[in-house]
A and B are shown apart, each in its own frame.
Chain A
Amino acid sequence: MLDINVSAREQVTLIEVRGRVDSANADQLGEALTREIESGHTQIVLDLAGVEYMSSAGLREIVSALKRAKRGPEAGDVRIAQPSYRVREVLEMAGLDTVLQIFPTQMEAVGSY
Protein backbone atom coordinates (compact mmCIF):
# COMPACT_ATOMS: atom_id res chain seq x y z
CA MET A 1 0.00 0.00 0.00
CA LEU A 2 1.09 3.50 -0.77
CA ASP A 3 0.62 6.13 1.88
CA ILE A 4 -0.91 9.15 0.11
CA ASN A 5 -1.79 12.33 1.99
CA VAL A 6 -3.74 15.14 0.29
CA SER A 7 -4.01 18.62 1.76
CA ALA A 8 -4.72 22.18 0.62
CA ARG A 9 -2.19 25.03 0.74
CA GLU A 10 -4.43 27.96 -0.26
CA GLN A 11 -5.16 27.35 -3.98
CA VAL A 12 -2.49 24.63 -4.29
CA THR A 13 -3.19 20.96 -3.67
CA LEU A 14 -0.34 19.15 -1.97
CA ILE A 15 -0.09 15.40 -2.46
CA GLU A 16 2.54 13.70 -0.29
CA VAL A 17 3.45 10.12 -1.11
CA ARG A 18 5.35 7.57 0.98
CA GLY A 19 6.52 4.11 -0.01
CA ARG A 20 7.71 2.35 -3.16
CA VAL A 21 5.78 3.09 -6.34
CA ASP A 22 5.67 0.20 -8.81
CA SER A 23 3.18 -1.33 -11.25
CA ALA A 24 1.41 -3.10 -8.35
CA ASN A 25 0.32 0.14 -6.70
CA ALA A 26 0.89 3.02 -9.14
CA ASP A 27 -2.85 3.10 -9.85
CA GLN A 28 -3.39 4.39 -6.28
CA LEU A 29 -1.22 7.38 -7.14
CA GLY A 30 -3.10 7.81 -10.43
CA GLU A 31 -6.48 7.69 -8.67
CA ALA A 32 -5.43 10.32 -6.10
CA LEU A 33 -4.22 12.64 -8.87
CA THR A 34 -7.34 12.07 -11.02
CA ARG A 35 -9.66 12.73 -8.06
CA GLU A 36 -8.10 16.13 -7.43
CA ILE A 37 -7.97 17.18 -11.08
CA GLU A 38 -11.59 16.16 -11.66
CA SER A 39 -12.69 18.20 -8.64
CA GLY A 40 -11.05 21.23 -10.22
CA HIS A 41 -7.89 21.17 -8.10
CA THR A 42 -5.46 21.36 -10.98
CA GLN A 43 -2.58 23.22 -9.33
CA ILE A 44 -0.84 20.28 -7.79
CA VAL A 45 2.42 19.74 -5.93
CA LEU A 46 3.47 16.09 -5.76
CA ASP A 47 5.89 15.71 -2.85
CA LEU A 48 8.01 12.59 -3.38
CA ALA A 49 10.29 12.95 -0.34
CA GLY A 50 8.98 9.68 1.10
CA VAL A 51 9.32 7.68 -2.13
CA GLU A 52 12.46 5.55 -2.03
CA TYR A 53 11.73 3.81 -5.34
CA MET A 54 9.68 4.51 -8.45
CA SER A 55 9.42 2.47 -11.66
CA SER A 56 8.11 3.59 -15.05
CA ALA A 57 4.60 2.73 -13.80
CA GLY A 58 4.78 5.76 -11.49
CA LEU A 59 5.98 8.00 -14.32
CA ARG A 60 3.05 6.84 -16.44
CA GLU A 61 0.60 8.12 -13.80
CA ILE A 62 2.42 11.42 -13.37
CA VAL A 63 2.54 12.11 -17.12
CA SER A 64 -1.17 11.20 -17.53
CA ALA A 65 -2.06 13.55 -14.67
CA LEU A 66 0.08 16.35 -16.06
CA LYS A 67 -1.62 16.08 -19.45
CA ARG A 68 -5.06 16.16 -17.80
CA ALA A 69 -4.20 19.08 -15.50
CA LYS A 70 -2.93 21.17 -18.41
CA ARG A 71 -6.03 20.46 -20.47
CA GLY A 72 -8.33 22.17 -17.92
CA PRO A 73 -9.66 25.74 -18.23
CA GLU A 74 -7.39 27.24 -15.55
CA ALA A 75 -3.64 26.84 -15.98
CA GLY A 76 -3.14 23.56 -14.19
CA ASP A 77 0.18 21.85 -13.56
CA VAL A 78 1.77 18.99 -11.64
CA ARG A 79 5.01 20.10 -10.01
CA ILE A 80 7.38 17.78 -8.22
CA ALA A 81 8.94 18.44 -4.81
CA GLN A 82 11.94 16.76 -3.16
CA PRO A 83 12.53 13.69 -5.33
CA SER A 84 15.28 11.45 -3.95
CA TYR A 85 18.43 11.04 -6.02
CA ARG A 86 17.14 7.71 -7.36
CA VAL A 87 13.69 8.97 -8.28
CA ARG A 88 15.29 11.99 -9.92
CA GLU A 89 17.50 9.69 -11.99
CA VAL A 90 14.39 7.85 -13.25
CA LEU A 91 12.63 11.15 -14.07
CA GLU A 92 15.72 12.32 -15.97
CA MET A 93 16.08 9.07 -17.88
CA ALA A 94 12.62 9.60 -19.39
CA GLY A 95 13.43 13.28 -20.04
CA LEU A 96 10.76 14.40 -17.57
CA ASP A 97 13.13 16.95 -16.04
CA THR A 98 12.49 19.01 -19.18
CA VAL A 99 8.67 18.84 -19.09
CA LEU A 100 8.07 18.82 -15.31
CA GLN A 101 9.06 21.53 -12.87
CA ILE A 102 11.08 19.94 -10.07
CA PHE A 103 11.82 21.75 -6.78
CA PRO A 104 14.25 20.86 -4.00
CA THR A 105 11.79 21.79 -1.22
CA GLN A 106 8.04 21.58 -0.66
CA MET A 107 7.88 25.30 0.15
CA GLU A 108 9.45 26.30 -3.15
CA ALA A 109 7.13 24.00 -5.10
CA VAL A 110 4.00 25.35 -3.38
CA GLY A 111 5.25 28.93 -3.67
CA SER A 112 5.90 28.55 -7.40
CA TYR A 113 2.19 28.87 -8.23
Chain B
Amino acid sequence: MPEERRLRIPGLKDRIPAACDFVMHAARSAGLDERAVHHCQLAVDEAVTNIIEHGYRGDGLNQSIEIICRAERDRFVIVVVDDGPPFDPLWQSDPDPLASMEDREPGGWGIYFIKKVMDEVVYTDEAGRNSLMMVKHVQDAPRLENLRDHVALKVSVSNPVDDIWLFAPHGRLDARLCPGLDRLMTDKLEAGKCLLVLDLGDVEYVSSMGLKTMVSLWQRARECQGNLVLAAVQTRVHEVLQIIGLDLVFQIFPTPNEAAAALDNPPA
Protein backbone atom coordinates (compact mmCIF):
# COMPACT_ATOMS: atom_id res chain seq x y z
CA MET B 1 0.00 0.00 0.00
CA PRO B 2 1.62 3.29 -1.07
CA GLU B 3 1.98 5.90 1.63
CA GLU B 4 -0.73 8.56 1.42
CA ARG B 5 -0.98 11.95 3.16
CA ARG B 6 -3.93 14.32 3.18
CA LEU B 7 -4.35 18.02 3.95
CA ARG B 8 -7.53 20.09 3.88
CA ILE B 9 -7.27 23.88 3.74
CA PRO B 10 -9.88 26.63 3.45
CA GLY B 11 -9.93 28.28 0.02
CA LEU B 12 -7.82 31.24 1.12
CA LYS B 13 -4.64 32.50 -0.48
CA ASP B 14 -2.81 32.93 2.81
CA ARG B 15 -3.00 29.13 3.23
CA ILE B 16 -1.07 28.50 0.02
CA PRO B 17 2.34 28.37 1.77
CA ALA B 18 0.95 25.65 4.08
CA ALA B 19 -0.18 23.64 1.03
CA CYS B 20 3.26 24.10 -0.55
CA ASP B 21 5.08 23.00 2.63
CA PHE B 22 2.88 19.91 2.88
CA VAL B 23 3.59 18.88 -0.72
CA MET B 24 7.33 19.66 -0.52
CA HIS B 25 7.70 17.55 2.60
CA ALA B 26 5.89 14.60 0.99
CA ALA B 27 7.90 15.00 -2.24
CA ARG B 28 11.21 14.94 -0.36
CA SER B 29 10.12 11.85 1.55
CA ALA B 30 9.32 10.23 -1.81
CA GLY B 31 12.93 10.70 -2.88
CA LEU B 32 12.54 13.51 -5.43
CA ASP B 33 15.53 15.81 -5.96
CA GLU B 34 15.26 19.48 -4.98
CA ARG B 35 14.49 20.65 -8.51
CA ALA B 36 11.60 18.18 -8.76
CA VAL B 37 10.44 19.20 -5.27
CA HIS B 38 10.32 22.82 -6.51
CA HIS B 39 8.28 21.72 -9.54
CA CYS B 40 5.77 19.98 -7.25
CA GLN B 41 5.53 23.11 -5.10
CA LEU B 42 4.88 25.25 -8.19
CA ALA B 43 2.24 22.82 -9.51
CA VAL B 44 0.23 22.70 -6.29
CA ASP B 45 0.51 26.48 -5.81
CA GLU B 46 -0.80 27.16 -9.33
CA ALA B 47 -3.62 24.61 -8.98
CA VAL B 48 -4.76 25.98 -5.60
CA THR B 49 -4.45 29.61 -6.78
CA ASN B 50 -6.66 28.83 -9.79
CA ILE B 51 -9.32 27.27 -7.60
CA ILE B 52 -9.35 30.23 -5.20
CA GLU B 53 -9.34 32.89 -7.95
CA HIS B 54 -11.68 31.28 -10.50
CA GLY B 55 -13.56 28.42 -8.80
CA TYR B 56 -14.28 30.06 -5.45
CA ARG B 57 -14.00 33.62 -6.79
CA GLY B 58 -12.41 34.94 -3.63
CA ASP B 59 -15.19 33.49 -1.48
CA GLY B 60 -13.31 30.45 -0.22
CA LEU B 61 -13.52 30.97 3.55
CA ASN B 62 -16.30 28.41 3.89
CA GLN B 63 -15.11 26.21 1.06
CA SER B 64 -12.19 23.88 1.25
CA ILE B 65 -9.53 22.36 -0.93
CA GLU B 66 -8.23 18.88 -0.29
CA ILE B 67 -4.67 17.91 -1.21
CA ILE B 68 -3.60 14.28 -1.32
CA CYS B 69 0.01 13.17 -1.81
CA ARG B 70 0.91 9.59 -2.63
CA ALA B 71 4.37 8.12 -3.03
CA GLU B 72 4.31 5.16 -5.40
CA ARG B 73 7.23 3.03 -6.52
CA ASP B 74 8.20 5.13 -9.53
CA ARG B 75 6.01 8.21 -9.26
CA PHE B 76 4.92 10.94 -6.91
CA VAL B 77 1.22 11.77 -7.17
CA ILE B 78 -0.51 14.98 -6.04
CA VAL B 79 -4.31 15.22 -6.22
CA VAL B 80 -6.11 18.52 -5.63
CA VAL B 81 -9.88 18.33 -5.09
CA ASP B 82 -12.32 21.24 -4.92
CA ASP B 83 -16.07 21.89 -4.85
CA GLY B 84 -16.15 24.82 -7.27
CA PRO B 85 -18.14 24.77 -10.51
CA PRO B 86 -16.95 22.02 -12.89
CA PHE B 87 -13.85 23.30 -14.65
CA ASP B 88 -11.51 21.23 -16.81
CA PRO B 89 -8.29 23.23 -17.32
CA LEU B 90 -6.96 20.78 -19.92
CA TRP B 91 -9.28 22.03 -22.67
CA GLN B 92 -7.90 25.59 -22.31
CA SER B 93 -5.39 26.66 -24.95
CA ASP B 94 -1.84 27.46 -23.86
CA PRO B 95 -0.34 30.95 -23.81
CA ASP B 96 2.59 31.42 -26.22
CA PRO B 97 5.97 31.76 -24.48
CA LEU B 98 7.44 33.17 -27.70
CA ALA B 99 4.88 36.00 -28.00
CA SER B 100 6.20 39.54 -28.18
CA MET B 101 5.70 41.90 -25.24
CA GLU B 102 2.88 43.72 -27.08
CA ASP B 103 0.93 40.50 -27.68
CA ARG B 104 1.27 39.20 -24.14
CA GLU B 105 -1.37 39.08 -21.45
CA PRO B 106 0.34 39.35 -18.06
CA GLY B 107 -1.48 36.34 -16.57
CA GLY B 108 -2.74 32.95 -17.67
CA TRP B 109 0.44 30.96 -17.05
CA GLY B 110 -0.66 28.81 -14.12
CA ILE B 111 -2.10 25.79 -15.95
CA TYR B 112 0.68 25.97 -18.54
CA PHE B 113 3.27 25.76 -15.74
CA ILE B 114 1.57 22.67 -14.29
CA LYS B 115 1.71 20.98 -17.71
CA LYS B 116 5.39 21.86 -18.13
CA VAL B 117 6.72 20.85 -14.72
CA MET B 118 4.73 17.63 -14.24
CA ASP B 119 4.76 14.39 -16.28
CA GLU B 120 1.06 13.53 -16.13
CA VAL B 121 -1.90 15.83 -15.56
CA VAL B 122 -5.31 14.19 -15.28
CA TYR B 123 -8.55 16.07 -14.69
CA THR B 124 -11.52 14.06 -13.45
CA ASP B 125 -15.05 15.35 -13.03
CA GLU B 126 -15.92 13.28 -9.97
CA ALA B 127 -19.64 13.59 -9.43
CA GLY B 128 -19.55 17.36 -9.21
CA ARG B 129 -16.13 17.67 -7.58
CA ASN B 130 -13.09 18.77 -9.56
CA SER B 131 -10.10 16.49 -9.14
CA LEU B 132 -6.74 17.39 -10.66
CA MET B 133 -4.08 14.70 -10.46
CA MET B 134 -0.50 15.84 -11.09
CA VAL B 135 2.20 13.19 -11.35
CA LYS B 136 5.99 13.50 -11.25
CA HIS B 137 7.99 10.51 -12.48
CA VAL B 138 10.77 9.86 -10.00
CA GLN B 139 13.15 8.50 -12.65
CA ASP B 140 12.58 11.19 -15.26
CA ALA B 141 13.02 14.17 -12.96
CA PRO B 142 16.81 14.59 -13.25
CA ARG B 143 16.70 14.22 -17.05
CA LEU B 144 14.41 17.15 -17.81
CA GLU B 145 16.35 19.88 -19.56
CA ASN B 146 14.32 22.61 -21.23
CA LEU B 147 10.89 22.70 -19.61
CA ARG B 148 9.39 24.60 -22.52
CA ASP B 149 9.88 21.52 -24.71
CA HIS B 150 8.49 19.11 -22.13
CA VAL B 151 5.25 17.36 -23.09
CA ALA B 152 3.20 15.84 -20.28
CA LEU B 153 0.46 13.25 -20.64
CA LYS B 154 -2.78 15.21 -20.34
CA VAL B 155 -6.10 13.40 -19.97
CA SER B 156 -9.62 14.55 -19.12
CA VAL B 157 -11.74 11.86 -17.47
CA SER B 158 -15.49 12.00 -16.96
CA ASN B 159 -18.40 9.73 -16.19
CA PRO B 160 -21.24 11.01 -18.42
CA VAL B 161 -23.58 8.04 -17.82
CA ASP B 162 -23.65 5.41 -15.07
CA ASP B 163 -20.82 2.93 -15.53
CA ILE B 164 -19.54 4.59 -18.71
CA TRP B 165 -16.16 6.29 -18.46
CA LEU B 166 -14.89 8.76 -21.00
CA PHE B 167 -11.19 9.46 -21.51
CA ALA B 168 -10.06 12.44 -23.56
CA PRO B 169 -6.29 12.64 -24.01
CA HIS B 170 -4.87 15.94 -25.27
CA GLY B 171 -2.11 16.30 -27.84
CA ARG B 172 -0.15 13.21 -28.88
CA LEU B 173 -0.41 9.52 -28.14
CA ASP B 174 3.11 8.21 -28.56
CA ALA B 175 5.37 5.61 -27.00
CA ARG B 176 6.38 7.90 -24.14
CA LEU B 177 2.85 8.95 -23.18
CA CYS B 178 0.93 5.71 -23.81
CA PRO B 179 1.90 3.82 -20.65
CA GLY B 180 0.25 6.54 -18.53
CA LEU B 181 -2.99 6.40 -20.50
CA ASP B 182 -2.94 2.60 -20.46
CA ARG B 183 -2.52 2.64 -16.70
CA LEU B 184 -5.45 5.04 -16.18
CA MET B 185 -7.80 3.02 -18.36
CA THR B 186 -6.58 -0.34 -16.99
CA ASP B 187 -7.41 0.90 -13.48
CA LYS B 188 -11.02 1.33 -14.62
CA LEU B 189 -11.12 -2.10 -16.30
CA GLU B 190 -9.74 -3.73 -13.16
CA ALA B 191 -12.43 -1.97 -11.13
CA GLY B 192 -15.01 -3.67 -13.37
CA LYS B 193 -15.76 -0.52 -15.38
CA CYS B 194 -15.55 -1.95 -18.90
CA LEU B 195 -17.63 0.49 -20.96
CA LEU B 196 -15.05 3.00 -22.15
CA VAL B 197 -15.10 5.90 -24.61
CA LEU B 198 -11.82 7.22 -25.97
CA ASP B 199 -12.47 10.79 -27.13
CA LEU B 200 -9.77 11.66 -29.69
CA GLY B 201 -11.13 15.15 -30.42
CA ASP B 202 -7.98 16.82 -29.09
CA VAL B 203 -5.48 14.23 -30.35
CA GLU B 204 -3.58 15.17 -33.50
CA TYR B 205 -1.16 12.23 -33.65
CA VAL B 206 -1.30 8.54 -32.69
CA SER B 207 1.88 6.47 -33.06
CA SER B 208 2.03 2.70 -33.61
CA MET B 209 2.43 2.29 -29.84
CA GLY B 210 -0.72 4.37 -29.41
CA LEU B 211 -2.60 2.04 -31.75
CA LYS B 212 -1.26 -1.02 -29.96
CA THR B 213 -2.41 0.40 -26.62
CA MET B 214 -5.89 1.11 -28.01
CA VAL B 215 -6.25 -2.43 -29.40
CA SER B 216 -5.05 -4.00 -26.16
CA LEU B 217 -7.52 -1.94 -24.10
CA TRP B 218 -10.33 -2.84 -26.52
CA GLN B 219 -9.50 -6.57 -26.19
CA ARG B 220 -9.50 -6.39 -22.41
CA ALA B 221 -12.78 -4.43 -22.39
CA ARG B 222 -14.34 -7.14 -24.61
CA GLU B 223 -13.05 -9.87 -22.27
CA CYS B 224 -15.10 -8.38 -19.44
CA GLN B 225 -18.24 -8.08 -21.63
CA GLY B 226 -17.58 -4.39 -22.18
CA ASN B 227 -16.41 -2.30 -25.10
CA LEU B 228 -14.05 0.50 -26.01
CA VAL B 229 -15.38 2.87 -28.66
CA LEU B 230 -13.81 5.95 -30.24
CA ALA B 231 -15.24 9.43 -30.66
CA ALA B 232 -14.39 12.64 -32.53
CA VAL B 233 -11.47 11.10 -34.42
CA GLN B 234 -9.55 13.76 -36.39
CA THR B 235 -9.00 13.25 -40.13
CA ARG B 236 -5.30 12.44 -39.95
CA VAL B 237 -5.76 9.92 -37.15
CA HIS B 238 -8.73 8.41 -38.99
CA GLU B 239 -6.53 7.87 -42.07
CA VAL B 240 -4.03 5.93 -39.96
CA LEU B 241 -6.83 3.76 -38.51
CA GLN B 242 -8.09 3.06 -42.06
CA ILE B 243 -4.68 2.11 -43.44
CA ILE B 244 -4.31 -0.72 -40.97
CA GLY B 245 -7.99 -1.63 -40.94
CA LEU B 246 -8.68 -0.59 -37.36
CA ASP B 247 -11.68 1.44 -38.50
CA LEU B 248 -13.37 -1.98 -38.87
CA VAL B 249 -12.42 -3.04 -35.34
CA PHE B 250 -13.44 0.08 -33.45
CA GLN B 251 -16.87 1.62 -33.45
CA ILE B 252 -16.30 5.30 -34.18
CA PHE B 253 -18.80 8.04 -33.28
CA PRO B 254 -18.82 11.71 -34.31
CA THR B 255 -19.12 13.00 -30.73
CA PRO B 256 -18.39 11.64 -27.24
CA ASN B 257 -22.07 12.03 -26.32
CA GLU B 258 -23.15 9.81 -29.19
CA ALA B 259 -20.51 7.27 -28.22
CA ALA B 260 -21.70 7.22 -24.60
CA ALA B 261 -25.35 6.93 -25.69
CA ALA B 262 -24.50 3.96 -27.95
CA LEU B 263 -22.69 2.17 -25.10
CA ASP B 264 -25.60 2.90 -22.77
CA ASN B 265 -28.15 1.40 -25.22
CA PRO B 266 -26.36 -1.32 -27.19
CA PRO B 267 -28.30 -2.70 -30.17
CA ALA B 268 -30.13 -5.92 -29.21
Contacts and interface: CB of A to CB of B under 8 A. Distances in A.
Contacts of B147: 89, 92-93
Contacts of B42: 55, 90
Contacts of B109: 56, 59-60, 93-94
Interface residues of A, number: 25
Interface stretch (B95-103, B193-201, B231-239): B95-103
A98 interface: yes
Contacts of A93: 97, 109, 112-113, 116-117, 147-148
A92 B98 CA distance: 10
B106 A63 contact: yes
B49 A23 contact: yes
A98 B52 contact: no
Contacts of A55: 42, 45-46, 49, 110, 113
A23 B53 contact: yes
Interface of B: 13-14, 16-17, 20, 35, 38, 41-42, 45-46, 49, 52-53, 95-101, 104, 106-107, 109-110, 112-113, 116-117, 146-148
Interface of A: 20, 22-24, 53, 55-57, 59-61, 63-64, 66-67, 70, 86, 89-90, 92-95, 98-99
By Cβ-Cβ distance, the 7 closest A-B pairs, closest first, are A95-B97, A56-B109, A24-B13, A63-B106, A23-B49, A64-B106, A60-B107
